[in-house]
Structure 1
Amino acid sequence: MRKQLFLLPVLLITAFFQPSFLAFSQKPSSSKKLISFVNPFIGTGGHGHTYPGATMPFGMMQLSPDSRLDGWDGCSGYHYSDEYIYGFSHTHLSGTGVSDYGDVLLMPTNAVIFNNGADEKPGYRAHFSHKNELASPGYYKVLLDDTNIEVELTVSERSGTHRYTFPKNSKQIIILDLEHRDQVLSAEIKTASNIEISGHRHSKAWAENQMLFYNLQFSRPYKKVEFYTNSEGKKHKAAFEFDPSQGNRVEVKVGISAVDEAGAKMNLETEIGNKSFEQIKANAEEIWEKQLQKISIETEDKNQKTVFYTALYHTMIAPNLYQDVDGRYRGMDLKVHQTDNFENYTVFSLWDTYRAAHPLYTIIEKDRTNEFIKSLLAKHDEGGILPIWPLAANYTGCMIGYHAVPVIADAYLKGIRGYDVDKAYQAMKHSATQDKLGLKSYKEFGFIPGEDESESVSKTLEYAYDDWTIAEMAKAMGKTEDYKLYTERAQYYKNVYDPATKFMRGRFRNTWFAPFDPYEVNFNYTEANSWQYSFYAPQDLSGLINLMGGKKKFETQLDELFTAETETSGRQQVDITGLIGQYAHGNEPSHHMAYLYNFVNKPAKTQERIHEIMTTQYHNAPDGISGNEDCGQMSAWYIFSAMGFYPVTPASNEYIIGTPLFEKSVINLEDGKKFEVIAKNISDKNIYIASASLNGKPLNRSYLYHNEIMEGGKLVFSMTDQPSKWATKDSEIPKTEIKEHLIVTAPFISKGEVAFKNKTEVLLGVAEGNPEIYFSLNNSEFKKYDQPFTLSEEAVLKTYAQKDEKKSPIITTHFYKIDPNLSIKLETEYANQYNGGGANALIDGIHGANDFRTGTWQGYHDVDLKATVNLGSKKEVKTVTVNFLQDQRSWIFYPTEVTCWASVDGKNFTEISTQAIESAKPSEEVEIETVSFDVSKDVQYVKIQAKNLGDLPEGHLGYGGKAWIFVDEIEIK
């Protein structure tokens, strides 16, 4: 998952490995602690975006090295391919696709140097080698080669300790840098004494106003301090020098708070106080050991054991505690709140984690799940809405859906209700009844038109699932009207299904976005293409299977998903990784798909694919996670799948059986019960289930119920090397099915040009069933549609479908007639994913809106626009205007200059004028520039050339890449 910088190209990073890293695969003894099987370096290479430093389970502090200052693969602050460490900061994000944190950097060195060395000038950064680096839960250690300083880190929940061992007789300097990484809004360094420093750092990054306060306490007095004053006169850096005659070791204890400096000091003194480094480390390791004991496994494969316990560790890093020891925390209104009845958390990557991480917590973290939900409800109270991706008391505006809703519904339906249930339900409905992010259209039409909102297909599909979870909770609470409404909305996924191609497609002016390529990554989908979203209706898989033509055709389509070419077309999307065909395990929309074979009576195919994914997409190596780890979701998929089952539909209380990876797995439940999974005769070849039993009785169905796990018991699989007939009967397969309050899908235009010359034939269709279709032209009375009709003039078409007494919404489409004498010749090629409506997009009379992702603009990547308009005959032309879009955050820049020529014969052109635009000037605004030319002569041909900026300017996020031109509507008057 990542924030939508849509035109970002793929960055290729090759991780490398050191002997010390591979030592994790050496054979351990059975008496080894579970923390010895955790390898925090997994995910620090490739695109995993994890960090190796010290943190506590769901803790507030993440004390870790910073080896990278920016870039997509530097989101956690560390990448395994790096050679230099800039220092050690106290907050980090695990597996995200956007950078933030890295607060309050400390760096031991032997000279007073305030430059970090990133510009290759002498700096305080230091070279390091992985052979001198060690990480384990709650502890990190590295030797800085350049200075021969050994660094050790350990933590409590809100505080941590650095231990620096300097070479004998060397200078002992500790740099404090508050300008590290993010834009600093405000910062301060205060010297309370020669052993205590305090202050704050308020910064802007992904969280636009993050407030952090700190308290530092040195183990011995510094003898001298020197401040660095920046160009604004601010003292945001300090160098503390210590007397080497007093020993070669300095420890720094650090407390942090989002509330105030007093809170930071109180956190430090309450949690750490006078404890030694070894005591703090031992406590962290004891707590982590207890956490990891929540699930135990038995296997002879030590690498798989390391992968499993590292995955379990990664699921326990986020969400993060965000509250001081006295119960104070900073809310989404950025005010300080006090609570004594729950612990407040932040960093909810809900688009990712609602799928498997939160369902895992409902099994092994029931109490903490209540705290998570209370935190989400507090954010609703303070900020006005349930968050989508909250970070450090900020709404980030990242990702889609309202996936706090299924997290709450899943917990409620599983009996986890230690919060205000009525308040939670009202907050869920509140999220679903907004008018923003496409919801206004979604509620009105039953889908989101592509021209109204970007990522319209993905949003329609995910809103429909979220709505189903509201419906299920409403049903359980006896709210019949809400149950009806949200059950109807849960079926809106059908309205973006195209029966002709059997794919989910964008509805663009009520036609299908064209030309259509299911491999194309474009603005209709979120971090995906049509392959990767066309199997997403987990709430009504029976309905989806019927739409696709039944089980056999659905199975064939699934087969094609996994065997399709692995290349995507359209825009580059760095998140689409881990490809098996077009199944992309490195990103969340694909995570449920391999389990769908169970729903068509083919569990053996699920078993094959799940085993393939587990053994090819996860490794005991730095690049051992195939995509962004995403705050536990990639790891939660593995935890569930390795045990043999997965929550395809959270809030259904069912888990779909795949294939176990280990001889034995045991979930040690919080109430003392145990749920055991035993796989007899399991091996690399014996991946198929021959038979199964639950608590000594035959289990012939390919799914489990939540209560069967929570009541404890024993699930036994007998494994074989050949597909079997186990759980292949209709009575033995899982189903998710909507059978009540069925909707009539909205008609679409299956043929017909919305902007046409001369005439266009219009055919109407529906996705499901055979309802009657009615239409109206130019506000005439509706009449029954029974055959195609032809339009030869501009018209407004309204249409709806009806079956019995049920009607679909009325959909309106404006048809535009292009002057038949007018034509356009494009000498340069536009990108199909930004085609604006096709070859005539620049003369069709339809103007682009501010959001380029709604599909009304025509995009040109790294090429100039060259277009010639033929008026059909010589005419008096007074003015020519052309519109361009600027959205520099998405790599869309105005052209550097625009030239207009005119001609009578189409061969000899006279330049009208050239207008220069300062396109490289940095801008955060989305703007439209209209360039006008005064022609005032008789001409037949008008030529426009817009010069592309080309290389993105230095300082831009995409520096090194190429710019886009987005253009729409050449108007000649």
Structure 2
Amino acid sequence: MKKTRYLLFTLILSVFFNAQNFSQNVNPFIGTGGHGHTFPGAIVPFGMVQLSPDTRIDGSWDGCSGYHYSDSVIYGFSHTHLNGTGVSDYGDIMLMPTMGNPSLNNKEYASKFSHKNEKATAGFYAVKLDKNNINVRLTATKRVGYHEYIFNNAGNANIILDLNHRDKLLEGEVKIIDSKTIEVFRRSEAWATNQYIYARIEFSKPMKISKKEVNGKQENQLFTGTKLALAFSTIVKKGEKINVKVAISPTGYEGAEKNMLAEGKSNDFESIKKLAENDWNKELSKIEVKSDDKNKLTVFYTALYHVFTQPNINMDVDGKYRGRDNEFYTAANFDYYSVFSLWDTFRAAHPLMTLIDRKRTSDFVNTFIRQYEQGGKLPVWELASNETECMIGYHAVSVIADAMAKGITGFDHEKAFEASKNSAILDIFGLNAYKKNNYISIDDEHESVSKTVEYAYDDWCIAQMAKILNKKEDYQYFMKRSQSWKNLYNPKNGFMQPRKNGNWYEPFDPREVNNNYTEGNSWHYSYSVQQDIPGLIAAHGGKEKFEQFIDAIFSAADKTTGREQADITGLMGQYAQGNEPSHHIAYLYNLVDKPQKTEEKIKYILDNFYKNAPDGLIGNEDCGQMSAWYVLSSMGIYSVTPGKPEWETVTPYFDEIKLHLEDGTTRVITKNTGKAELRKLGFENVKPAKDFKYDELIATPVIAADRLFEFSTKVEITPLNPDDKIYYMTMDEGDVSVRKTFKVYKGPFTISKTTQVSAYAERNGEKSSIGTANFNRRPNHWDITVKSAVNPQYTAGGKLALIDGIKGDTNWRKGEWQGYQGQDFEATIDFKSPQSFHEVDVTFLQDSKSWILLPKKIELYGSNNNNDYYLLDTSETSVDPKNESVHTIIFFLKTLPTEARYIKIKAYNYGKLPEWHQGAGGDSYIFIDEISVK
């Protein structure tokens, strides 16, 4: 009876969607070129299976999805892919049909193809493999991939299963069940360092193993190893089809079999293809747009398609899933998902889902809660039950707060708040310094500016949850923390500027991309106060001045400085539509009463940065965020502040838009729809929670002096608010046992010893956090000449940094190391007069993943005239360059007691990165910090 009802429902859907075939407007090739990083294969909305061709197997940046439109070779068809990410992974369970004598060498089983023989629609992909004249067609259900291979020539047909495809195989297994059925297990390491996937593969006709490559066990039709590939072969007639069905599971063979029984019983490829199309029509029909411009329709519905590509269902049909602790659980009353690119998607993709898919939003939050319970914290960038810790912030709290603020139920609000609060009190990624000081400095953690402003926004989100739950003290605590951006706002220039050693970091260029920001620069992050735009406007001196500051980002030169950052694309001045931190900025004109400027910028972006072409995305798709921006903006709405049940507005891009919501109602949007109606669209009945009072955060004063001085230096302490009163305390080398107290700061003072200065500001009885700075008298008066050219990103403050006695730690991104790329290091130290010594210690750092390798050899020379040098000692590296742990090594160069005025140190660069390295062929770095003489 259930089957009959399902078939009837499917028939009704088919009739309805044939009348309104939204999926015909989807072009899966959009974003497969340029830097979009999308893939064109067969998927259904939010499906576990993403069955797509792989044209890249090298893990390259533009090959993150496994496919790039500029390629002409297909290596195979695998069942998992990532949509628009900036890091490579997936490509699991790869099959490739061939003819003739089978080969397990991917260069030999790969085939040329032509785009003229390639087709992709929603839920379907087809291509002709030129090498053996094989037509491939692919479609899918949520958990099963369907392959149809048409062999246009008679002969020996092969299907290659290569478990070493793309990422590193940690553990593989193939079990032969019978001549038409095999089971596969693959545990792999890439971005997700411990990914499990199981598969059940069923052939439509008997196949025999014709070739194998196995470095483990081979017994009783069971093959294991870390190098594992098999060819399955049969004789075919000209034009014969072989169908293959692949069910996948994150839990085990039993799960894969259950998934096959539920979704893989059909042998009718066309019916499955039609069901996939119907699935897409059902989802895409939630937003109905009208336009005479076919390209605009295609861009819109492909954007919606990309939003619905992930997160991916990550449980079996019976609800069983693999938790973050690698244990098994069963989801009850919700669906469990994976692939949460939250740094990207909290901004637009998740707010869009709160409007058109509230139930799935609830499922996402339930998934977050389970990951907190099983893994100890909310996801940051979760992938296949692995936390990658990629990007920054704890933006799951934004998704939760947005859901709660918009009245979404179906999850435990108290547990969600508990999990959110937990994320904010951990001592990781600079949070310990942030909690103590209300900001992160360069001394504390890399990407300090971005982390500070994004933590502050997340804290505001937690405060909104606390308000809804009537938790007054929590609300007040997190609202105060949410003002932490004030400590990095420089009132002299209006930018979010990094601080180091109590002072503003100089030299400062807002265009510079460096380790103080995440995939951006100060231009991009100086508007990232989504939680308190009125406060940011006031800090700038009012709406007129803030309007000028918004104008400035669009009128600035469209070139960044500093590190090359491929993610920064779609520049309008310094505004970068191709990367997420800019996505809300154009809407800020609304908040300075200049909506016409918002109109102008948004229309330009919609017109110019989204095209119906393979390179039609201006930057990485980033799991639907780039497209969600388009969908919302074209509807005339955008969520500048997720966590508020309201939208910022702009004139809709289309003449008419119909929203079909879950409650059965339809909202019609036209270019004449009022801004007030758009502002509360979908959340008209949500009542705001009652506000509580909270304390203003007082910004920590700036402490300025020469960090390294010869004999004395002047210390000046400046409040960030002129109404603040400053108190300070000094502690020099002789004050270790002296009890000190803070005193009123009356003006600059001079120090002549190595001294620590502490200070805080006070206003109306409220105190800032205590800022601390250390100023060091030079431990020597040597001179140093560095022959090598330092990378301008890694100067550590200049050449004296190598002999200043201040040592950096293993987090080299804090800026305490000097970096030299593609060259040997050579430096000469002048003691100014002959000096007796017996040892010279030189500290180097290795971070293989970041291209930083220890030098191959270090040499120490001495001289008394700076011309004639004699070799004193040599030391060679004993650390394996494949050792990926970040560590420092001190090379002890020893000699008999020697007297010399000059010493010279040579360190020989490792050279080009080897084949095993992800950056193979690139120039390695030498990172050096301190040279000491004994």
**Structure 1 length as normaliser, TM-score?**
0.89
Q: Show the 5 A alignment for 1:786-825.
A: 786-819=746-779, 821-825=781-785
What's the CA shift for 1:493?
0.8
Task: Provide the rounded CA distance (Å) in 2 between the counterparts of 1:327 and 1:414.
Answer: 27
Asked whether the equivalents of residues 104 and 230 of structure 2 are also in contact (C-alpha less than 8 Å), the reply is no
Q: Which of 23, 40, 46 is equivalent to 1:58? A: 46
Which residue does 1:704 correspond to in 2? Answer: 679
Asked whether the equivalents of residues 610 and 659 of structure 1 are also in contact (C-alpha less than 8 Å), the reply is no
Task: Provide the rounded CA distance (Å) in 1 between the counterparts of 2:911 and 2:933.
Answer: 28
What's the CA shift for 1:857?
1.0
Which residue does 1:78 correspond to in 2? Answer: 67
Asked whether the equivalents of residues 603 and 702 of structure 1 are also in contact (C-alpha less than 8 Å), the reply is no
Which residue does 2:885 correspond to in 1? Answer: 925
What's the CA shift for 1:656?
1.0
- The yes-or-no answer on 1:743 pairing with 2:697 is yes
What letter is aligned with 1:871? F
| Bigger shift: residues 908-917 or 580-589 | 908-917
| 1:808-862 residue CA offsets vs partner (Å, 9 max, x unmatched) | 1112222211046223223333233222133321122110101111111111222
Q: Which of 660, 671, 674 is equivalent to 2:652? A: 660
Q: Which of 782, 790, 793 is equivalent to 1:833? A: 793
What letter is aligned with 1:38? V
Q: Which of 805, 808, 813 is equivalent to 1:853? A: 813
Which residue does 1:134 correspond to in 2? Answer: 119
Asked whether the equivalents of residues 100 and 155 of structure 2 are also in contact (C-alpha less than 8 Å), the reply is no
Task: Provide the rounded CA distance (Å) in 2 between the counterparts of 1:59 and 1:970.
Answer: 56
What SS is found at the alignment partner of 2:171? strand
Task: Provide the rounded CA distance (Å) in 2 between the counterparts of 1:269 and 1:799.
Answer: 69
Which residue does 2:250 correspond to in 1? Answer: 258
Which residue does 1:576 correspond to in 2? Answer: 568
- The yes-or-no answer on 1:911 pairing with 2:871 is yes
What SS is found at the alignment partner of 2:523? coil
What SS is found at the alignment partner of 1:171? strand
What letter is aligned with 1:705? K
Which residue does 1:523 correspond to in 2? Answer: 515
Task: Provide the rounded CA distance (Å) in 1 between the counterparts of 2:329 and 2:880.
Answer: 44
- The yes-or-no answer on 1:443 pairing with 2:396 is no
What's the CA shift for 1:740?
3.8
What letter is aligned with 2:39? Y
| 1:679-718 residue CA offsets vs partner (Å, 9 max, x unmatched) | 2xxxxxxxxxxxx553xxxx5x69712555689xxxxxxx
- The yes-or-no answer on 1:154 pairing with 2:139 is yes
Task: Provide the rounded CA distance (Å) in 1 between the counterparts of 2:685 and 2:262.
Answer: 36
Task: Provide the rounded CA distance (Å) in 1 between the counterparts of 2:411 and 2:481.
Answer: 27
Task: Provide the rounded CA distance (Å) in 2 between the counterparts of 1:471 and 1:703.
Answer: 26
What's the CA shift for 1:955?
2.0
Task: Provide the rounded CA distance (Å) in 2 between the counterparts of 1:154 and 1:707.
Answer: 34
Which residue does 1:965 correspond to in 2? Answer: 926
Asked whether the equivalents of residues 919 and 949 of structure 1 are also in contact (C-alpha less than 8 Å), the reply is no
Gaps of 5+ in 2: 1-16, 218-223, 732-738
Asked whether the equivalents of residues 543 and 738 of structure 1 are also in contact (C-alpha less than 8 Å), the reply is no
What SS is found at the alignment partner of 1:574? coil
Aligned residues: 897
Q: Percent identity?
A: 47
What's the CA shift for 1:869?
2.3
| 1:390-431 residue CA offsets vs partner (Å, 9 max, x unmatched) | 111111121110011010010001000211111111000001
**Structure 2 length as normaliser, TM-score?**
0.93
Asked whether the equivalents of residues 920 and 953 of structure 1 are also in contact (C-alpha less than 8 Å), the reply is no
What's the CA shift for 1:499?
2.3
Which residue does 1:683 correspond to in 2? Answer: none
Which residue does 1:397 correspond to in 2? Answer: 389
Q: Which of 71, 78, 81 is equivalent to 1:92? A: 81
What's the CA shift for 1:199?
2.3
Change (3 A) 1:399 1:292: same
| Bigger shift: residues 236-245 or 469-478 | 236-245
Asked whether the equivalents of residues 175 and 182 of structure 2 are also in contact (C-alpha less than 8 Å), the reply is yes
What's the CA shift for 1:84?
0.7
What SS is found at the alignment partner of 2:586? helix
- The yes-or-no answer on 1:170 pairing with 2:155 is yes
Asked whether the equivalents of residues 92 and 165 of structure 2 are also in contact (C-alpha less than 8 Å), the reply is yes
Task: Provide the rounded CA distance (Å) in 2 between the counterparts of 1:48 and 1:915.
Answer: 47
What letter is aligned with 2:229? K
Which residue does 1:217 correspond to in 2? Answer: 202
- The yes-or-no answer on 1:380 pairing with 2:355 is no
Asked whether the equivalents of residues 104 and 229 of structure 2 are also in contact (C-alpha less than 8 Å), the reply is no
What SS is found at the alignment partner of 1:243? strand
- The yes-or-no answer on 1:299 pairing with 2:259 is no
Asked whether the equivalents of residues 272 and 280 of structure 1 are also in contact (C-alpha less than 8 Å), the reply is no
- The yes-or-no answer on 1:474 pairing with 2:466 is yes
Task: Provide the rounded CA distance (Å) in 2 between the counterparts of 1:870 and 1:553.
Answer: 52
Asked whether the equivalents of residues 494 and 768 of structure 1 are also in contact (C-alpha less than 8 Å), the reply is no
Which residue does 1:13 correspond to in 2? Answer: none
| Bigger shift: residues 928-937 or 633-642 | 928-937
What SS is found at the alignment partner of 2:642? coil
- The yes-or-no answer on 1:938 pairing with 2:899 is yes
What SS is found at the alignment partner of 1:163? strand
Task: Provide the rounded CA distance (Å) in 2 between the counterparts of 1:851 and 1:631.
Answer: 29
Task: Provide the rounded CA distance (Å) in 1 between the counterparts of 2:248 and 2:819.
Answer: 47
| 1:770-796 residue CA offsets vs partner (Å, 9 max, x unmatched) | 211111011632111121122211111
What SS is found at the alignment partner of 2:391? coil
What's the CA shift for 1:661?
1.6
Task: Provide the rounded CA distance (Å) in 1 between the counterparts of 2:297 and 2:239.
Answer: 42
Which residue does 2:26 correspond to in 1? Answer: 38
Q: Which of 228, 231, 243 is equivalent to 2:212? A: 228
Asked whether the equivalents of residues 104 and 160 of structure 2 are also in contact (C-alpha less than 8 Å), the reply is no
Asked whether the equivalents of residues 114 and 228 of structure 1 are also in contact (C-alpha less than 8 Å), the reply is no
| Bigger shift: residues 904-913 or 947-956 | 904-913
Task: Provide the rounded CA distance (Å) in 2 between the counterparts of 1:706 and 1:801.
Answer: 44
Which residue does 2:8 correspond to in 1? Answer: none
RMSD across aligned positions (CA): 2.1
Which residue does 2:860 correspond to in 1? Answer: 900
| 1:160-190 residue CA offsets vs partner (Å, 9 max, x unmatched) | 2100111142322111112211111211111
Which residue does 1:618 correspond to in 2? Answer: 610
Task: Provide the rounded CA distance (Å) in 1 between the counterparts of 2:684 and 2:280.
Answer: 24
Task: Provide the rounded CA distance (Å) in 2 between the counterparts of 1:245 and 1:954.
Answer: 42
Task: Provide the rounded CA distance (Å) in 1 between the counterparts of 2:237 and 2:831.
Answer: 88
Asked whether the equivalents of residues 114 and 237 of structure 1 are also in contact (C-alpha less than 8 Å), the reply is no
Which residue does 1:115 correspond to in 2? Answer: 104
Asked whether the equivalents of residues 48 and 312 of structure 2 are also in contact (C-alpha less than 8 Å), the reply is yes
Q: Show the 5 A alignment for 1:496-507.
A: 496-507=488-499
